[in-house]
Amino acid sequence: MQKLKIGVLGCANIAKKSVVPAILSISDFELVAVASRTAEKAQEFANLFGCEAVEGYQKLIDKKDIDVIYMPLPTGLHEEWVLKALEADKHILIEKSLAMNYSSAEKMVQKAKEKGLLIMENFMFLYHNQHQIVKQLIAEGKIGKIRCFRSSFGFPPLPSNNFRYNKKLGGGALLDAAAYTIRASQLFLGNDLNVKAASLNYNENDIDIFGGAFLKNKNGLFSEVAFGFDNFYQCNYEIWGSKGKIIAHRAFTPAPDFKPLITVEQQEEKFDIEVPAENHFINILHEFVKNVRKQNYKPKYDEILNQAKLLQEVRDIAN
């Protein structure tokens, strides 16, 4: 089967450390080029990974020998470059969060629909097997019926020049750390959640640095999420049931060689499950390829819009 030829639009750390090495490990892809705003940065990146260096994002988009663009740009730059890439008939794998707001997400998804192209957010954690193990434990009745989902994702302050503190670039904890907890809520409680309460706390530069939200579905099940950039490190979720509880201790960021721990608590018993290490960056790339090959785009459009709706609701209610 013909390889998907991929270009990388931007030289972010996540691309360098995790995503491009994963791309190179998969036979379905051929890495063609990487683009940066400066020739020097593009060349440095290209030398690392054995591909062509391109100065300027538009030049990469204009290349005729690329089918897919991986876009690790800050959220605030997404709309412009996504629309240009879709206009040039490129499928897109993009870092989360896709959009600054719901209307922007709608605009990008509508363009993808019109062009018949895949756009997919890089929520790699969804494709780690630990979550399937948790689902299996629930299906086996280990905790009875779900009563509550809770998730926390936060970390200590970042360097002050980090783009996550830049409002124009989409900075703030909501579009970053919160996005994981809200996406995980949908994984276990479904896609009919609505935000009922929310709080965002801002710093002196009007950047939301920590917050929380309460989400509820039509069956009355609810999710409590907390997130932040000024927090003791947490990266977990807990599912509380009628007969027990499950905790995923490293839910969102297990390294490829890390074995995540799941704890199951019941009335008379408590036990841990060590999940085999695996690379969720590779796993999501396989999912991307499968959807391109099958031209199965609608589920990913729906995921994007539902996620963007919930993030917008958090912002609106908190403000």
Name the residues annotated as catalytic.
96
Is the distance from CB of 257 to CB of 279 less than 8 angstroms? no
Burial of 114 (0-12, 13-18, 19+ CB in 10 A): exposed
Q: Please state, in angstroms and as integers, the Cα–Cα distance from residue 52 to each residue in 12, 32, 49, 59, 187, following that order.
A: 17, 6, 9, 12, 38
Two tokens at 302?
């729906």
Query: Per-residue b/e over 57-76, b at no fewer than 16 CB within 10 Å?
Result: beebbebeebbbbbbbbbbb
| Cα gap 318→131, rounded to integer Å | 29
Residue 47 is given by DSSP the state H
Burial of 229 (0-12, 13-18, 19+ CB in 10 A): buried
Smallest CA-to-CA distance from 237 within 283, 287, 167, 189 is with 189
| Cα gap 246→161, rounded to integer Å | 38
